[in-house]
Structure 1
Amino acid sequence: MRASDEPIISVRNLSKHYPLRSWWGGKGSVFRAVENVSFDIRPGETLGLVGESGSGKSTIGRAVTMLNPPTEGSVAFEGTNLSMLSAKAMRAKRARIQTVFQDPYAALNPRMSVGDYVSEAFKLHRPDMSRAERREAVAGLFERVGLEPRFAGRFPHQFSGGQRQRVCIARAIALKPSFIVADEPIAALDVSIQAQVVNLLQDLQAELGLSYLFISHDLRMVRYLCHRVAVLWRGRIVELAESDALYDDPRHPYTRRLLGAVPVPVPAVERARLAAESAAPASAIAEGGDLVEVAPGHWVATPPEDRP
């Protein structure tokens, strides 16, 4: 493996559990939101994370960035185990790890101009910058994400959803990070705007050498944007492969069912797909165990009795 192929993010056996309490106030069982998840993301790579609602996608995104630290396992960023860092050291690392959230309006402060919102990153991490330097840097960031610098004095409610997401992206790249978690960044946007935001993310990746963990339920957009895709089911990764390999040759029953749920514009094909889906028993999906490499770079959760 070449030095440039060393992963920028290395997740090993990550689990996130939440304690449950019974109705009478005593201690109850544990809800296992994510269980024993492992993956790597290389420099300049986009890893897609897909799965149905409640499968644990956003939980993984927050655990990887230490916004909600994992219960078990490790997250290494550029060779450093983030869970072992002090609060001060983690704050320094956050300049290199950023997040773009699903709802841009909720991410913005409605009482703060968008220019001040973006410049907050410089105030926290670059206190040596003067006000004029911050203003100039914000103007450059706005131009980079396709916004007029003169909009910096406006407030979030004066923008469209797509423009607000561009502001959030400008904030995310302000400190020149190397890794960004994009948590459903286009889900709240109009279809006509989604492609523009995805193209912006691609352009920034090429320009800045960014790595992404792209969390989404839009399977078509994931195939377009991501180099590799991990399929999450019930808090576990059941399949992980190169994008084309996973879409063209899905191996896990849940992956096939997930891809089969994507609507197609041909009514006859759609009717045949729905008929076949209704005929397949739900028990046909087996959770499986550890990931096994069934083809070069193609990993599938396979029950012990089915392993080679």
Structure 2
Amino acid sequence: MTAPAKAYPLVSVRNLSKHYALRTWWGGKASVFRAVENVSFDIRPGETLGLVGESGSGKSTIGRAVTMLNPPTLGTVAFEGTDLATLSPLAMRGMRARIQTVFQDPYAALNPRMAVGTYVAEAFKLHRPDMRRLERREAVAGLFERVGLDPRFAGRFPHQFSGGQRQRICIARAIALKPSFIVADEPIAALDVSIQAQVVNLLQDLQDELGLSYLFISHDLRMVRHLCQRVAVLWRGRIVELAPSDLLYENPRHPYTRRLLGAVPVPDPAAERARLAAARTEPESSPSEGGELAEVAPGHWVAGH
């Protein structure tokens, strides 16, 4: 699955930083926590960019900053050439029909006191107030069928569904307004292994059908390789390697990327012992290796080289 050739990126992130002021006590000196620092990347139409890294590296922070749920401290996020930070609240509200998010915990994303059909229909109430009730009901039924759910389930409540079904409901809400770009923030992390592949296949089918672009945030490196055309590796709030998926997995250049890939379990005792031995000899990354990205091969960018 390849992204269609376009002259412009759908999403262009430049020098994005997110800082948080730390609380001070007893007149102490104010300090700043730099969660994300100087991150840049592009996402082309129809492309899936994977964002990987250990917990606390800033992946979800980038996802929320890109969608302006938690605007960046510095830098720009351009969607189809428009800087989102310059939009008024009303204009940004209209833009949200084109930019959606699928969160990690589907149960927390749903209103436990609201029928799931009503939850999905809220997108139409907010952005298409001209739709009649019958039209909304038919649209919700069509969305349920598209994500593999029985439309008769629309009157049920979140606690009556499994985790995989809840995530399908959240995906139905995300695609209701036919967006162009979706941030999938670890959408399979809270699901059983047997369900994860079904949700990923659904995301791929929707991408092929609707021409969606994804920023796919995940810990699952094998799933990222399966789903994403390019992968960005995040370390301490900075991108340290960015490359096409196959190139990054077959020839990782940054020490942190090699250690991250070396942590993936292998279902073979001999190969697992070799993996652990190689991981022990892999040198630790240093702060100097989180600097500016340099292109070491066509499309392969590495920090500190």
- Pick the TM interval, shorter chain: over 0.9
- Kindly provide the CA deviation profile for residues 58-80 of structure 1, in whole angstroms up to 9, marking residues without a partner as x: 00000000000000000000110
Equivalent residue for 1:275, pick from 274, 277, 280: 277
TM-fit CA distance, 1:21? 2.1
Matched, 1:158 2:160: yes
TM-fit CA distance, 1:211? 0.2
Matched, 1:13 2:18: no
In the alignment, is the contact (CA less than 8 A) between 1:20 and 1:30 conserved in 2? yes
Distance of 2:129 and 2:18 partners within structure 1: 35
In the alignment, is the contact (CA less than 8 A) between 1:17 and 1:31 conserved in 2? yes
Distance of 2:285 and 2:57 partners within structure 1: 18
TM-fit CA distance, 1:247? 0.3
One-letter amino acid matched to 1:287: E
Distance of 2:204 and 2:7 partners within structure 1: 20
Partner of residue 35, structure 1: 37
One-letter amino acid matched to 2:300: H
One-letter amino acid matched to 2:271: V
Matched, 1:56 2:64: no
TM-fit CA distance, 1:81? 0.3
Partner of residue 232, structure 1: 234
TM-fit CA distance, 1:289? 1.5
Equivalent residue for 1:117, pick from 116, 119, 123: 119
Superposed counterparts of 1:226-265, under 5 Å: 226-265=228-267
Partner of residue 210, structure 2: 208
Distance of 1:249 and 1:3 partners within structure 2: 25
Length, aligned pairs only: 302
Give the unaligned 5+ runs of structure 1.
Answer: none
Distance of 2:34 and 2:124 partners within structure 1: 38
Partner of residue 220, structure 1: 222
Matched, 1:141 2:136: no
In the alignment, is the contact (CA less than 8 A) between 2:255 and 2:283 conserved in 1? no
Q: Secondary structure at the match of 1:239?
A: strand
Distance of 1:283 and 1:148 partners within structure 2: 50
Distance of 2:224 and 2:174 partners within structure 1: 20
Give the unaligned 5+ runs of structure 2.
Answer: none
In the alignment, is the contact (CA less than 8 A) between 1:41 and 1:211 conserved in 2? yes
Instruction: Give the TM-score, by structure 1 length.
Output: 0.95
Superposed counterparts of 1:279-294, under 5 Å: 279-282=281-284, 286-294=288-296
- Kindly provide the CA deviation profile for residues 218-261 of structure 1, in whole angstroms up to 9, marking residues without a partner as x: 00000000000000000000000000000000011100010000
Matched, 1:298 2:305: no
User: Aligned pair in 2 of structure 1 residues 6, 219: CA closer, same or farther (>3 Å)?
Assistant: same
User: Aligned pair in 2 of structure 1 residues 285, 20: CA closer, same or farther (>3 Å)?
Assistant: closer
User: Aligned pair in 2 of structure 1 residues 283, 114: CA closer, same or farther (>3 Å)?
Assistant: closer
User: Aligned pair in 2 of structure 1 residues 194, 18: CA closer, same or farther (>3 Å)?
Assistant: same
Cα root mean square deviation, aligned: 1.4
Distance of 1:54 and 1:70 partners within structure 2: 17
User: Aligned pair in 2 of structure 1 residues 202, 280: CA closer, same or farther (>3 Å)?
Assistant: closer
* Bigger shift: residues 74-83 or 271-280: 271-280
- Kindly provide the CA deviation profile for residues 137-185 of structure 1, in whole angstroms up to 9, marking residues without a partner as x: 0000000000000000000000000000000000000000000000000
- Kindly provide the CA deviation profile for residues 8-55 of structure 1, in whole angstroms up to 9, marking residues without a partner as x: 100000000001123325452110000000000000000000000000
TM-fit CA distance, 1:284? 6.5
User: Aligned pair in 2 of structure 1 residues 299, 279: CA closer, same or farther (>3 Å)?
Assistant: closer
Distance of 1:67 and 1:50 partners within structure 2: 20
Calculate percent identity across the aligned residue pairs: 85
Distance of 1:162 and 1:283 partners within structure 2: 37
Matched, 1:106 2:104: no
User: Aligned pair in 2 of structure 1 residues 118, 283: CA closer, same or farther (>3 Å)?
Assistant: closer
TM-fit CA distance, 1:279? 3.8
TM-fit CA distance, 1:281? 4.6
TM-fit CA distance, 1:272? 2.3
One-letter amino acid matched to 1:221: M
Instruction: Give the TM-score, by structure 2 length.
Output: 0.96
One-letter amino acid matched to 2:20: Y
In the alignment, is the contact (CA less than 8 A) between 2:50 and 2:232 conserved in 1? yes
